[in-house]
Amino acid sequence: QLQESGPGLVKPSGTLSLTCAVSGGPISSYNWWSWVRQAPGKGLEWIGEIFHGGSTNYNPSLVSRVTISLERSKNQFSLNLSSVTAADTAVYYCARGGVGLSTPENFDSWGQGTLVTVSS
């Protein structure tokens, strides 16, 4: 199971920081972990992924502003998105899964999502 946490309100030009707690097994039990977002009333956008060994892969549209990191001791991974604007307002999901893996577990498990609003 996955659970997102973090501030629900971020000021413009600030940094959005979220954490995804993984329960039910070690984070090393699966290769890739992703962040996906969904603006209100819109579709899904993949932000990026982190390998349990620590390497990352980001969406080119966000690469200059995004960092995904891992804390194995806490069994969690995190998202930082800098220089946010109103366009970054969205529900942010963490999910088990990534690019290039075709297994029954790829994107079978998602957090409930957390709404982050960018506003002053």
Partner 1 sequence: ENVLTQSPGTLSLSPGERATLSCRASERVINNYVAWFQQKPGQPPRLLIYGASDRATGIPDRFRGSGSRTDFTLSISRLEPEDFAVYYCQQYGDSPLTFGQGTRLDLK
Q: How many CA atoms lie within 13 A of 32 on its CB side?
A: 19
Q: Is the dihedral of CA 102, 35, 90, 65 positive or negative?
A: negative
Stretches 10-18, 22-30, 73-81, 109-117: which one binds partner 1 (CB under 8 A)? 109-117
Nearer to partner 1, 24 or 43 (CB): 43
Residue selected from 24, 40, 60, 73 as contacting partner 1 according to rule CB under 8 A: 60
Work out the number of other CB atoms within 10 angstroms of the CB of residue 64: 9
Examine residue 10 and tell whether it contacts partner 1 (CB under 8 A). Answer: no
Which parts of this chain interact with partner 1 (CB under 8 A)?
34, 43-46, 49, 57-61, 93, 95, 97-104, 106-108, 110-113
